[in-house]
Amino acid sequence: MSITALPNSRTEPDGSAVIRVLSYNIRSMRDDEDALARVIRACAPDLVFVQEAPRFFRWRKHAARLAAKSGLVVLTGGATASGPLLLCSLRVTAEHTEDVLLPLTPGLHRRGLATAVVRIGSVRLGLISCHLGLRAEERRAQAGLLLERVAALAALGAPHTVAAGDINERPGGPAFGRLAGELQDCWAVRPWGGEHTFTPGDPDRRIDAVFATKGVEVLGCGVPHGLPGVTDADLRAATDHLPVLAALRVPPR
């Protein structure tokens, strides 16, 4: 598939919604903030699943500034989710938001999930932004808790969910495999663009991913190398991960 062929956002005649979602570890906005915003804008996402959002002094102000520069608004997350954040376009209506702190592993950074149920036209969709831990056993347990949250969002009226983030693990690892066993690994279903997400200068591994529940149609997913407006210079300057962009068709409820 050509890099320019990723579908744009739209509502289909049957009520389904084609959406663009972006997953991006932004390293607390410690790098080139303008380059970061340019990459996000060029991807034209409806939803951005952020990891490593600012968590300390004036963190809400930093998140709001990034959203404004990117032409988006803050949905939920940030310090209250220990780093994961959700941004959205004005196409999206929030119905429920909840930031979830995961059990703390002594000596390691606290992890959390930014979650929401949103409506896009006649489509209701659950969202989970995640950043899993550094130890394999911790990541696998966190993957299980994420899957429990998928079920909780379904109970809130979201028949479909997209979960995305920094898995800190390659495909085939225990946590990645646990998620891919229950959800669609969107890159594996329909690869598009680039595969590897770390590091930007010489990417050699895929540790960031977009997952979707079964029933969501994956139209393309990958690193947006060559997408109009996305330059290699901006990708290198923005942060220490490459973003993952996916186009999904979500059926109506």
> For position 91, which CATH number holds?
3.60.10.10
How many separate domains does the chain show? 1
Give the pLDDT of residue 163: 99
Q: Two tokens at 76?
A: 């939920």
Say which residues have a Cβ less than 8 Å from residue 10's Cβ, sequence separation at least 6: 17, 18
Q: For the segment 72-108, what is each residue's pLDDT rounded down to a tens digit?
A: 999 999 999 999 999 999 999 999 999 999 999 898 9
Distance CA 115, CA 84 (A): 9
Distance CA 197, CA 22 (A): 13
> Interior CA angle at 191 toward 166 and 1, to 5°?
140
Mean pLDDT by 10 residues, the chain (253 residues): 76 96 98 98 98 96 98 98 98 98 93 98 97 96 98 98 98 97 98 97 97 98 97 98 98 88
Half-sphere exposure (Cβ direction) of 19: Cα atoms closer than 13 Å:
32
For the chain, state the CA radius of gyration.
16
Give the pLDDT of residue 3: 59
Range of the domain at 57: 3-250
**Which residues are 250's β-sheet partners?**
17
> Interior CA angle at 48 toward 150 and 137, to 5°?
50
Give the pLDDT of residue 1: 44
Give the pLDDT of residue 5: 81
